[in-house]
Structure 1
Amino acid sequence: MRLPLTLALTAVMALTSCAAIRESRFNPFNWFGRSQERQTDEFGVALPDEQRPLVAQVLGMAVEQTPTGAIVRATGLSPMQGYYDAELVARPVDENGVLVYDFRLMPPPEPKPVGAERSREVTAAAHLSHIKLEGITQIVVQGAENARSSSR
């Protein structure tokens, strides 16, 4: 009778301690914090072969854990309605471990009304594997007017 009770109590104690590990800095999925706004000129010029312009403004970004790595998700504001083909285009990781994504999207073929800000929001995401995350210390999503970054 004592052995099952001891095993049950040990299992309960182990499961309740998982929440502490999930919230700790030792958990590799907690490496990236909330994003912070940055200036775009900190990260250099765009890749020359890209035809799509940068999103006007990066409103927010998050680095979310997945079983296979992380997803970088960003929301941007286009100058008018009708922009499409949004993508986070990665630049090479620099020597300091900074990965910069250019938030690119295609303008509409003909001018559209500006519309409300909420109707002009566009979201794009990119996946990073655990292997790619190894050398990365900071992730930046860059738009035309601003950038947002998240660091370990």
Structure 2
Amino acid sequence: MLRAIVVVSAILSLTACDSRINPLNWFGGDREERITLNPDAVGANAIIDGRSLVAEVTQLSVEQTTSGAIVRAQGIMPSQGHYDAELVLVEVTDTVIAYEFRTAPPLGQSTAGLQQIDVAAELTVGELAGIRTITVISQNNRRSVGRR
């Protein structure tokens, strides 16, 4: 009985603190970096995709699930009518996963006004193994979240 009380109190104290070993603190808040992409620079590993990058990523979060995590991103476009939004995987290293946030342009003439677009991608526990940073790239900025 005493052993169970000690284990339960240890678990509760871990969830209450902002510790790196706390399993509920997988990824911290997102940080933004302003960038300028050169559309003429196409590297050897470039992905050919007819969709364009969203203008700006406004939010990024990683939510833990029983099978891994869900990466959620929110972006804006300067006009209405964009569709087929997706986080396109562009880089995977031992510690980093990077996505580009892409959408298809409007069919026909677009309507003026900002369009908010939400998108998500699922990662399994195996895909998350060793990952320290997840980055989402847009046309004008990139947002990253890192493990605490």
TM-score w.r.t. length of structure 2: 0.81
Runs of 4+ in 1 over 4 A off after TM superposition: 9-17
Determine the C-alpha separation between the residues in 1 that align with 2:130 and 2:9: 32
C-alpha displacement of 1:136: 1.4
Q: Which protein has the larger Cα radius of gyration, Structure 1 or Structure 2?
A: 1
Determine the C-alpha separation between the residues in 2 that align with 1:11 and 1:41: 55
Determine the C-alpha separation between the residues in 2 that align with 1:114 and 1:130: 41
The structure with the greater share of residues assigned to helix is 1
TM-score w.r.t. length of structure 1: 0.79
Unmatched 5+ stretches in structure 1: 1-6
Determine the C-alpha separation between the residues in 2 that align with 1:40 and 1:91: 17
Deviations 1:49-99 (A, max 9, x none): 11100000100100111111111100000121111111001113136x221
Unmatched 5+ stretches in structure 2: none
The structure with the greater share of residues assigned to strand is 2
Determine the C-alpha separation between the residues in 2 that align with 1:130 and 1:139: 14
Give RMSD over aligned pairs.
2.4
C-alpha displacement of 1:105: 0.6
Number of residue pairs the alignment of both structures matches: 140
1:81 aligns to what? 80
